[in-house]
Amino acid sequence: MACCSAAVAGELRRTAIVEAVERVRTSVVNIHGEKTLAEGEVPPAGMDSDRRVNGMGTGAIIDPRGYIITNHHVVDGVDPINVTLADGEECVAKLVSHDPDTDLAIIKIDVSKTLPVTPIGTSRDLMAGETVIAIGNAFGYEHTITRGIVSALHRTVQVGDNQKYEDLIQTDASINPGNSGGPLFNIDGEMIGINVAVRVGAQGIGFAIPVDKAMQIACELISAKRLQSVWHGLVVESEPSQHNPAALVVRSCDSDSPAAALGLEVGDRITRVGSLDARRPMDLERALLGKHAGDEIEIVLDREKAESKLHLKLVDLPAHLKPNDEPIWELLGLRLKPISGDDFRRYQTRYRGGLNVVAVRSGSPAARQGIRRGDVLVGMHIWETITLENVSYILNRPDFASLSPLKFYILRGNETFLGHMSVAGAKTR
């Protein structure tokens, strides 16, 4: 009798929260490492010694081959990026792609086993008051579990001068330092958000990026066009039907693309790409990870309730579709964004305009010279840099190779700094 009572008690303790955590905790990873914070002026004018600080965060596995989504600020400047799996295995990750504006990044670990993937839900139907669960590396305590409710939706949070989050989920689940980049789950164990921010000094107030927005950004970050410079020509979106709950519908198909040549049309329903069920646009890009021009992949269509199989051959991305800032990224290691006239005037400087530095590639010429995210590039050599076209003009000049080391001017706060960077492939005078 006592045995039966104990069994019943155990079942009563196995709540929906316990069951959700048991299903998903192995798909959550802990991220840690050291970050270099450069201080002082831009070299060669003089810079104080670098400071090494410990960083920590959390990530969610989105592909069994080791692709993980997290916050950009968790991995920005961290080298190496150390990842601990739920079973204690330690790995070193590489940064695959990132977007500072949305504070999201994709990293990858190389493992010999198939990893559990975080179940992905939707943030479209979230309800204020519903139960949520956070799993993360809180204060360095790995796989800490907290619970709470959705306190509010569509929140806007300003963090410092350079980071503004919009349309966030607010929750009273404890979101502590180290939780950043980790998943927020619903009671069914589906990820409905990526934890991003905590109000310092506030209790019971945490925030998360809605999962639908996060997956849209993740799709762009891992796209074949971005990572492998290959092209398929499709624009798709999720549209499950009663006949087939796992499907993508083709919304557009470039007329001269490989997809169009194959006969794909607007309105076609894609149910499978390679070995993956096609539930959301990210599944199409996941299936193409590691593919190159000339590779083929099978696409399964649902046309009038009949299954059709096609083989899509990828091609090199046409020159006119390549981002116009790619040479800037490749040569200098900078992602730049124009600044409106009204926003620039607050700097109260003699310069007419500039470009905001939104990302700096680790180990690049810009990084070696101490240029940071948030700086404003106002000039290079004898030319002003108000638009991306201004920078492209400089990089495309016939005599560009003779300009190295390239003189540059940046604004940091209300101060102007001068520096010189040596550009790979350019002649040093």
Extract the runs of DSSP E, i.e. beta strands, from 175-264: 183-186, 191-198, 206-210, 230-231, 234-238, 248-253
Comparing 60-74, 289-303, 312-326, which segment has the lowest mean pLDDT?
312-326
Residues of the chain with pLDDT > 70, as a percent, come to: 87
Would you call 103 a catalytic residue per the annotation? yes
Q: Residues 390-400: pLDDT tens digits?
A: 998 898 888 88
Q: What is the pLDDT of residue 374?
A: 85
Q: Residues 318-347: pLDDT tens digits?
A: 877 766 677 888 889 898 988 887 778 877
Q: Residues 219-275: pLDDT tens digits?
A: 999 998 888 788 999 999 987 665 666 689 999 998 889 999 999 999 999 999 999
Find the catalytic residue in 180, 223, 257, 364.
180
* DSSP of 126-148: --TT-EEEEEEEETTEEEEEEEE
**Does position 216 have pLDDT exceeding 50, yes or no?**
yes
**Does position 126 have pLDDT exceeding 90, yes or no?**
yes
Task: Go through the domains of the chain in sequence order and give each one's CATH number.
Answer: 23-109 (2.40.10.10), 131-216 (2.40.10.10), 227-316 (2.30.42.10), 323-421 (2.30.42.10)
Q: What is the pLDDT of residue 313?
A: 93
Find the catalytic residue in 103, 212, 283, 375.
103
Comparing 96-100, 120-124, 323-327, which segment has the lowest mean pLDDT?
323-327
Higher pLDDT, 155 or 426: 155
Q: What is the mean predicted confidence (pLDDT) over 210-221?
A: 95
Find the catalytic residue in 32, 72, 73, 232.
73
Higher pLDDT, 311 or 225: 311
| Contact by Cβ (8 Å): 30, 61 | no
Whole-model pTM: value is: 0.75
Q: What is the pLDDT of residue 185?
A: 99
d(CA 21, CA 270): 32
Closest to 120 in 3D by CA, of 289, 236, 283: 283
Give the side-chain half-sphere CA count within 13 A for 122. Answer: 5
Extract the runs of DSSP E, i.e. beta strands, from 254-362: 269-273, 276-277, 296-303, 306-313, 315-316, 334-338, 355-360
